[in-house]
Amino acid sequence: MDLLSLLNEHAVIELSREGGLAYIPKLAAQQRFALCDLSAAQREHLCHLVSRMALLAQHAGQTRTPGSGDQRFYRILIVGHPEGGPQATQAEIVVPESSAPPELEILWKKGTFQSAE
């Protein structure tokens, strides 16, 4: 499924951070964004960020390097209806925390679209 076809006003994007040695509920919090609830500028900003993260994504089944078991990663789940399609479809992007820009961490922690300063 083409990621861009899912990024329309009907899509929902869920962002979570996972991994590490211990499960700590506060660190496993999830942000959820319904694109229909965002302003046009926020929607454009979020879609641009998701598209950039797709380029940094770790592919499913990709082997990790030894010693990386305690590393965290961001999971971006996009659920949407492709234009003209009645069926809900989803795509998942997994980005290692070490590769993610600070902007993604701010979005996950605060749920805001401010740039990292």
In a domain, 117, yes or no: no
Whether 116 is covered by a domain: the verdict is no
What was the pLDDT predicted at 113? 76
pLDDT at 59: 58
Q: Please count the structural domains in the chain.
A: 1
Residue 7 phi/psi, 5-degree rounding, is -85, 75
pLDDT of residue 7: 85
For residues 33 and 113, what is the distance between their CA atoms, to the nearest angstrom?
A: 11
Cα separation, 13 vs 75, in Å, equals 10
Predicted pLDDT of residue 10:
86
Any domain includes 82: yes
In a domain, 33, yes or no: yes
The pLDDT value recorded for residue 84 is: 62
Ranges of residues in the chain whose predicted pLDDT is under 70: 1-2, 4, 21-28, 59-69, 82-85, 114-117
Q: Output the pLDDT for position 18.
A: 86
pLDDT of residue 116: 42
Domain containing 43: what range? Answer: 3-110
Name the residue among 26, 33, 16 with its Cα closest to residue 74. Answer: 16
Render 34-86 in DSSP notation, one character per residue.
EGGGS-HHHHHHHHHHHHHHHHHPPPTTPPPPTT-TT-EEEEEEEEE--TT--
